[in-house]
Amino acid sequence: MTIHSIKEELKTANKPVARALDHNDYFKVLVIGFKQGMRLKEHMTKIPAKLTVLEGSVLYQEGTTQLKLNQYDEHEIPLETLHEVEAAEDSLCLLTQGEPIK
């Protein structure tokens, strides 16, 4: 019910809504919901992360580089690099964090 609750909360939210979908000692999967124009302000990650768009589209900005990620697109987020995400339309994303299995 995590995704349903995020979509319900977004109806009255003024910032992105994020909830853990699953996690353990080695990884975490977050669901992030956006209404068009909402953004995650500039930040960086210290653990490997991948952003996957489930619905809608987002603009991923890293320095002077901007990528438009559409439904089902994914992007590896570099460690310790400032980046931000803005919703080009109402969107739902997965953020997967953790070391890949080798």
Can you name the residues that pair with 49 across neighbouring β-strands?
Answer: 77, 97
The pTM assigned to this predicted structure is: 0.92
To which H or E segment does residue 5 belong? Answer: helix 2-10
- Residue 2's SS3 state is helix
Could you list the pLDDT tens digit for every one of the 102 residues in the chain?
899 999 999 999 999 999 999 999 899 999 999 999 999 999 999 999 999 999 999 999 999 999 999 999 999 999 999 999 999 999 999 999 998 776
Contact (Cβ atoms closer than 8 angstroms) between residue 98 and residue 26: yes
Rounded Cα gap, residues 12 and 7, in angstroms: 10
Edge-to-edge strand ranges of the sheet holding 39-43 = 39-43, 83-87, 57-62, 65-70
